[in-house]
Amino acid sequence: MLAINLKAYKEAIGEGAVKILEAAEKALEETGLNIPLVIAPQYIDIYLLSQKAKKVMIFAQHMDPIEPGAFTGHVLPDAIKEAGAKGVILNHSEKQMSIEDIEKAINIARKLDLITIVCASDPVVAEAISILNPDYIAVEPPELIGTGISVSKAKPDVVKNAVKWVKEYNPKVKVLVGAGISNKEDVKKALELGADGVLLSSAVAKAKNPYEKIKELIEGFI
Amino acid sequence: MLAINLKAYKEAIGEGAVKILEAAEKALEETGLNIPLVIAPQYIDIYLLSQKAKKVMIFAQHMDPIEPGAFTGHVLPDAIKEAGAKGVILNHSEKQMSIEDIEKAINIARKLDLITIVCASDPVVAEAISILNPDYIAVEPPELIGTGISVSKAKPDVVKNAVKWVKEYNPKVKVLVGAGISNKEDVKKALELGADGVLLSSAVAKAKNPYEKIKELIEGFI
Amino acid sequence: MLAINLKAYKEAIGEGAVKILEAAEKALEETGLNIPLVIAPQYIDIYLLSQKAKKVMIFAQHMDPIEPGAFTGHVLPDAIKEAGAKGVILNHSEKQMSIEDIEKAINIARKLDLITIVCASDPVVAEAISILNPDYIAVEPPELIGTGISVSKAKPDVVKNAVKWVKEYNPKVKVLVGAGISNKEDVKKALELGADGVLLSSAVAKAKNPYEKIKELIEGFI
Amino acid sequence: MLAINLKAYKEAIGEGAVKILEAAEKALEETGLNIPLVIAPQYIDIYLLSQKAKKVMIFAQHMDPIEPGAFTGHVLPDAIKEAGAKGVILNHSEKQMSIEDIEKAINIARKLDLITIVCASDPVVAEAISILNPDYIAVEPPELIGTGISVSKAKPDVVKNAVKWVKEYNPKVKVLVGAGISNKEDVKKALELGADGVLLSSAVAKAKNPYEKIKELIEGFI
């Protein structure tokens, strides 16, 4: 899986998000590869992007572990689903959740048929989260996020241990790695170390040419 | 102003939100009244509703006081604006903010030309918030929210004092009242006590016939 | 282990906390039993109680996962240690932490030689937390806290599964159960189901005669 | 008032805090000045310091706006009072509170006869908080905290406006300034600009010779 988190980058809201989506669709088509490709925009752009997405899956960057009710300003899982989202990122280091809330959110996602990517800052936390049975765990050492120093090169043991420990305990859970991933080599290296894919952000969201960048990253999966 | 907060009610997401918007547009047209009418849906429904809104203004239920950047799962003011929102509710009792964050959010809203409604639990807090110079302050005693016991009937002094203290200090700020508002009489009473409008939620969001309910509430303004 | 959380109960601060400590010391002595007995008072009472404690161990109700520095209003682990605390409760349902913060706090506790009791709302979360290697896990279904309906009677499967799953994965971790524990029978039942002890609060903190109540509870361990 | 926030500095916990207290008592005595001098240590050190304090007043760095009850890990105002604290700092930029919680905490403090210092990041927020009627407001531009660049020198208008706006609205409220205050000149300058005192931290907490440093600061009041 190639998962692209658009965060709150100026270049990646509204029409900017649409352009990145179109670049991703085109890159998927041209390379002919059939990897799951996720784009996680601002909540507000989920509806618009879901309308236009073909192969790309639109995810939310977070959701609150709530049932419908009186929750002003919260992100209702049912609303995400109805707007067309196929899944959700949970517990990103910029939006941490209690372990109880992660469990609740995973259970709600399962009922609504939303795919879950739960973030973990290190292999031990990744292993703990694997017990909560998400679909994906994304291991992202927070100290490398946004640095351009790739976790797969700078901390190969983080990737190896996360993959080993999660798979030993719960082989159904897929492992993504993130933090500093910015080119084809970083992707290749992550896959060699056993990861099932990557989660990245600024390398695409702030790319001058998102199409070329996404195409390059997809080629890392070949 | 008649402001309707759809919160996270099941009846009021996606197509449900569209129906409430259409009911509001029809009620505005039929009554011929020209009061500002606000609907605040889930973030995810802002784009869809903004596309369809004519006279009704679509607001966000909250936004984070941030500039564009690396903020996963946050609600970026620029994204709200680009999706078509005309304003934002801040500091609702179900989504409280620090006073520093309220100030930052009001300043960002002003730059983006978004109208602000800041909630306050009592007249003293309302007066304090008036110094931060929002467009509207909505006074909502939290103990009455969702009860159907109207603040304008049960606690007229709360309305009177909020209006008096806010206007004395900062006459440009308009005062809404909320909590338990559910019919024409509640609206009339609020206006008699000096309020500039009402903020309500379940009375419309869970109404069997949103059109009849909104029409009744608008008639309270005649 | 018998762990008593004094929370923020009026009867259990300052001199009230000292009385409960003295009752516990006396009960331990009279029964002659040598079980680890923990009292977790308000932060502010830790120093006073630690000065007076003999067999009883004084714990903090929480600590922040921080190293010394500029953290106004935070609870510094080093300060807890220096004041005489022997351990700390983490992630109580009334003071939830992110999974990353639980991991950090456990690691800091280990360096400072503080014993950790990490709370979990159900057996799945308990198992996940066992991977973070705390000394104790206290399983407390939040819906039973403060009800007087004992988890060991009302939800024996919660106790059995928590014990089984934690011990299977990490046999070094001891399992406490909590929520509604209020008498000798509740304790006996918890131990029969495999627990290593109990965590309780109001049954002692609000007892008319803390000495009699603690003695009764200790006798559940015989 | 000279208010010293010990934060979570390693040099300023337990015996370290006692030394700073003794230095402050000695400096007060030697200079013969009768200014209110506050030390705000870790919660855990409040009891110990209150036992030893003569002229110096011990404050908490924060308290939760709660009545006694089931609040694990919270800081109960009644417990602070019983441990000997004379007051409390609220809404420090490292421990921000919602405006509703600040109001509740001030009301609880008044009932318990605790003096309140509420922090504000700028003059506008200071004026807003003055409506909540605390005893003191401490204006601290967060960007200067811990820099050693004194607010009174670098941003004299912040001090002047805070004093002017607060006093105009609520003349009973006293105004402290903080951020970067580290020597006699900074104190003098703050008082010249109209402030009633200063709030500082690292200059004392990390001083090699706390006695000399506190003496110097007190001399700024002459």
List the CATH number of the domain containing B34. 3.20.20.70
pLDDT score of B41? 98
- What value does the mean pLDDT take over residues C118-139? 96
Radius of gyration of chain C, Cα coordinates, nearest whole angstrom: 16
Report whether pLDDT(C101) > 80: yes
Hunting for tokens 């900074």 — which residue is that?
D186
pLDDT band at D180 (very low <50, low <70, confident <90, very high): confident
* Pairwise pLDDT comparison (A81 vs A141), residue with the higher score: A81
pLDDT score of A86? 98
Q: Is the CA virtual torsion D180, D185, D190, D193 positive or negative? A: negative
Tell me what percent of the residues of chain A surpass a pLDDT of 70: 100
Closest by CA position to A206, among listed A3, A7, A1: A7
CA distance C125 to A103: 8
Residues of B forming the active site: 92, 140
CA distance D143 to D138: 15
B139 phi/psi in degrees, rounded to 5: -90, 120
Contacts of B46 in chain A (CB under 8 A): 44
Give the Å distances, CA to CA, from D214 to A180, B156, B222, D39, D53: 47, 53, 66, 11, 16
Catalytic residue among D140, D168, D212, D219: D140
Those residues whose C-beta lies under 8 Å from the C-beta of residue B143, and which sit 6 or more positions away, are B179
CA distance A140 to chain C (A): 12
CA distance A8 to B127: 33
pLDDT score of A125? 96
pLDDT score of A142? 79
Closest by CA position to C66, among listed C79, C76, C52: C76
CA distance D2 to D198: 5
Per run of 10 residues, the mean pLDDT along chain B (length 222 residues) is 97 96 96 93 97 97 97 98 97 95 98 98 95 96 77 85 92 91 91 94 94 96 90
Report whether pLDDT(D4) > 90: yes
**CA triple A212-A216-A219, angle to 5 deg:** 140
Mean pLDDT for chain A? Answer: 94
CA distance D12 to D6: 6
Catalytic annotation present for A140? yes
If you ran DSSP here, which 8-state letter would residue A69 be given? B
pLDDT band at C81 (very low <50, low <70, confident <90, very high): very high
pLDDT score of D145? 73
Q: What is the pLDDT of residues D141-175, one digit of tens each?
A: 877 777 778 877 888 888 899 999 999 989 999 99
Q: Is the CA virtual torsion C110, C116, C120, C124 positive or negative? A: positive
Contacts of D131 in chain B (CB under 8 A): 124, 127-128, 131
C8 phi/psi in degrees, rounded to 5: -120, 35
Q: What is the pLDDT of residues A114-166, one digit of tens each?
A: 999 999 999 999 999 999 999 999 998 877 777 778 877 888 888 899 999 99
Quick check: B82 contacting A, CB < 8 Å? yes
C158 phi/psi in degrees, rounded to 5: -60, -45
How far does Cα A32 stand from its chain's mean position?
21
Cβ distance A84 to A46 under 8 Å?
Answer: yes
pLDDT score of C166? 94
Closest by CA position to A210, among listed A85, A97, A41: A41
* Tally of domains in chain B: 1
Interface contact flag, C121 A100, Cβ < 8 Å:
yes
Q: Is the CA virtual torsion B156, B157, B159, B160 positive or negative? A: positive
Name which of C5, C10, C43 to mutate to probe chain D: the one with the most chain D Cβ atoms within 10 A of its Cβ: C43
D214, containing H or E segment: helix D210-219
Cβ distance B175 to B139 under 8 Å?
Answer: yes
User: Residue A168 is part of which domain span?
Assistant: 2-219
If you ran DSSP here, which 8-state letter would residue D38 be given? E
Radius of gyration of chain A, Cα coordinates, nearest whole angstrom: 16
Q: ipTM score here?
A: 0.94
- What value does the mean pLDDT take over residues D8-27? 97
Those residues whose C-beta lies under 8 Å from the C-beta of residue A21, and which sit 6 or more positions away, are A39, A49, A52, A53, A56, A58
Give me B145's structure tokens: 């929210």
Report whether pLDDT(C148) > 80: no
How far does Cα A179 stand from its chain's mean position?
11
Report whether pLDDT(C143) > 90: no
What residue ranges in C8-128 does DSSP mark as E strands? 37-40, 57-60, 87-90, 115-120
Quick check: C74 contacting D, CB < 8 Å? yes
Name which of D4, D43, D51 to mutate to probe chain C: the one with the most chain C Cβ atoms within 10 A of its Cβ: D43
If you ran DSSP here, which 8-state letter would residue A140 be given? -
The DSSP code sequence of D74-132 is: ---HHHHHHTT--EEEES-TTS--BHHHHHHHHHHHHHHT-EEEEEESSHHHHHHHHTT
SS3 B117: strand
Q: Which of B179-183, C18-22, C170-174, C183-187 has the lowest mean pLDDT?
A: B179-183
Contacts of C74 in chain D (CB under 8 A): 8, 94-95
Mean pLDDT for chain C? Answer: 94
pLDDT score of B141? 83
Length of chain B: 222
Q: What is the pLDDT of residues A20-75, one digit of tens each?
A: 999 999 999 999 988 999 999 999 999 999 999 999 999 999 999 999 999 999 99
Tell me what percent of the residues of chain C surpass a pLDDT of 70: 100
Those residues whose C-beta lies under 8 Å from the C-beta of residue B36, and which sit 6 or more positions away, are B1, B2, B57, B197
**Among the partner residues D48, D61, D83, nearest to C14 by beta-carbon distance:** D83
CA distance A197 to A162: 13
Contacts of C82 in chain D (CB under 8 A): 13-15, 44
Those residues whose C-beta lies under 8 Å from the C-beta of residue D198, and which sit 6 or more positions away, are D1, D2, D3, D176, D177, D178, D181, D186, D187, D190, D217
Give me C126's structure tokens: 């308990």
Which residue is closest to B96 within chain D, CA to CA? D98
CA distance C177 to C137: 8
- What value does the mean pLDDT take over residues C102-122? 97
pLDDT score of D144? 75
- What value does the mean pLDDT take over residues D181-188? 91
CA distance A140 to A91: 11
Hunting for tokens 């603690």 — which residue is that?
C214
Report whether pLDDT(A92) > 80: yes
Tell me what percent of the residues of chain D surpass a pLDDT of 70: 100
Closest by CA position to D78, among listed D113, D49, D52: D113
Helices (H) and strands (E) in chain D, counts: 10, 8
Quick check: C121 contacting D, CB < 8 Å? no
